[in-house]
Amino acid sequence: MTVNQAPFPLTRFRRTRAAAPIRNLVRESSLSVHDLIWPVFVCAGSNERQAVASMPGVERLSVDLLVEAAREAASLGIPAICIFPYTDPSLKTELCEEAWNPDNLSNRAIRAIREAGIEIAIMTDIALDPYNANGHDGIVRDGVIVNDETVEALVKMGLAQAEAGADILGPSDMMDGRIGAIRAALEAENHTNVTIMSYAAKFASAFYGPFRDAVGASGALKGDKKTYQIDPLNAREALRCVERDLREGADMVMVKPGLPYLDMCRQVKDRFGAPTYAYQVSGEYAMIQAAAQNGWIDGEKVMLESLMAFRRAGCDGVLTYFAPRVAKILNQ
């Protein structure tokens, strides 16, 4: 950027800030309902809602209630929801077979939303952790998370989701080579228009804690995810992962977590120009909600400001648990 401002008092930044109409004119970015993806948790049963203690305001919903929630999201103009299943512990195994069961909870939810004719894009999560007896995103053999065998399982899982009617597959597992393998399988099975949003720059973060409660994976998880998720200190490695995933056929890429990693959002957008999203994860949501509930911050204003920050940092959209609340405000 070239510095071409005249010195004070010829330049006064407060001139363009003095009144709302001019502030509206000079605003550099925007936040719209079309920038939102709503992550939702689905549980078994009917007419069932379960509060998630560490995420005040978030509930797991049974499929019938999830369909109604999707209908409301669509009517608010939210373009996509992202489904995460709470899996009964009795369905978790060492080989995670439930992950590619065509009738697992997640696939039933996808079908129900599709069959209801709701105009909303359905995103999924591809990772084995909800189905894994030991809580990891990959298959564990002799204490090691094995890459290539996990990728084979992820391909089966992704295909089952595509068959059920998913529009956006979201591999969040961080195994190497999974984007290429999933893309090849989708092409071979004629799912040529199914998109992939790769969790490409996904860091090994403590901000995922409340989510693991929400999907019931925290009890099962032994150890940490540092052998597959990226070290929070490594920006260049994250950029190389994004480049690799785009070359393997990802349509969209994600940075996760969100606010502590805004530098990555900016770098990914500038460097690759691909559709770029951030995940404002469960821990970020919980911090804002907790401070708001204590009366320490204005929750609504902080929520909106946090989402504006993603847009300023170059993101095309944000996965956020605040999506319906924000949409209602933006639609006013």
Ligand X SMILES: NCc1[nH]cc(CCC(=O)O)c1CC(=O)O
Does the annotation mark 225 as catalytic?
Answer: no
Q: Which of 35, 98, 129, 248 binds ligand X (CB under 6 A)?
A: 129
Stretch that binds ligand X, among 58-66, 122-130, 267-275, 290-298 (CB under 6 A): 122-130
Q: Considering only CA atoms, which of 120, 121, 125, 116 is closest in space to residue 67?
A: 116
Comparison of 70 and 82: residue with beta carbon closer to ligand X = 82
172 binding ligand X? (CB under 6 A):
yes
Comparison of 17 and 226: residue with beta carbon closer to ligand X = 226
Q: For residues 264 and 255, is the Cβ–Cβ distance under 8 A? A: yes
Beta bridge partners of 83: 40
* Options 92, 202, 225, 269, the catalytic residue: 202
3-state secondary structure of 77: coil
Comparison of 129 and 245: residue with beta carbon closer to ligand X = 129
Comparison of 71 and 260: residue with beta carbon closer to ligand X = 260
Phi-psi region of 273 (alpha: psi -120 to 50; beta: other; left: phi over 0): left
Residue 90 parent element (H or E):
none
98 binding ligand X? (CB under 6 A):
no
DSSP string, 171-216: B-S--TTHHHHHHHHHHHTT-TT-EEEEEEEEB--GGGHHHHHHTT
292 binding ligand X? (CB under 6 A):
no
277 binding ligand X? (CB under 6 A):
no
3-state secondary structure of 49: strand
User: Closest distance between ligand X and the C-beta of residue 286, in Å?
Assistant: 9
Q: Which of 67, 153, 164, 281 binds ligand X (CB under 6 A)?
A: 281
Q: How many CB atoms lie within 10 A of CB 42?
A: 24
Stretch that binds ligand X, among 66-74, 90-98, 124-132, 302-310 (CB under 6 A): 124-132
Beta bridge partners of 121: 80
Alpha carbon dihedral 99, 101, 103, 104, in 10-degree steps, equals: -20
213 binding ligand X? (CB under 6 A):
no
Residue 141 parent element (H or E):
strand 140-141
* Options 256, 269, 301, 328, the catalytic residue: 256
| Residue nearest ligand X by beta-carbon distance | 211
Comparison of 79 and 171: residue with beta carbon closer to ligand X = 171
167 binding ligand X? (CB under 6 A):
no
Q: Considering only CA atoms, which of 89, 152, 91 is closest in space to residue 126?
A: 152
106 binding ligand X? (CB under 6 A):
no
127 binding ligand X? (CB under 6 A):
yes
Comparison of 189 and 224: residue with beta carbon closer to ligand X = 224
Stretch that binds ligand X, among 116-124, 125-133, 269-277, 303-311 (CB under 6 A): 125-133
CA 256 to CA 277: how far, in whole Å? 9
Comparison of 71 and 221: residue with beta carbon closer to ligand X = 221
Does the annotation mark 256 as catalytic?
Answer: yes
Q: Which of 38, 86, 203, 211 binds ligand X (CB under 6 A)?
A: 211
Q: Considering only CA atoms, which of 279, 182, 282, 173 is closest in space to residue 228?
A: 173
Alpha carbon dihedral 290, 294, 298, 304, in 10-degree steps, equals: 10
User: Closest distance between ligand X and the C-beta of residue 228, in Å?
Assistant: 9
125 binding ligand X? (CB under 6 A):
yes
Catalytic center residues: 202, 256
Name the residues that contact ligand X, by CB under 6 A. Answer: 125, 127, 129, 137, 172-173, 208, 211-212, 225, 281-282
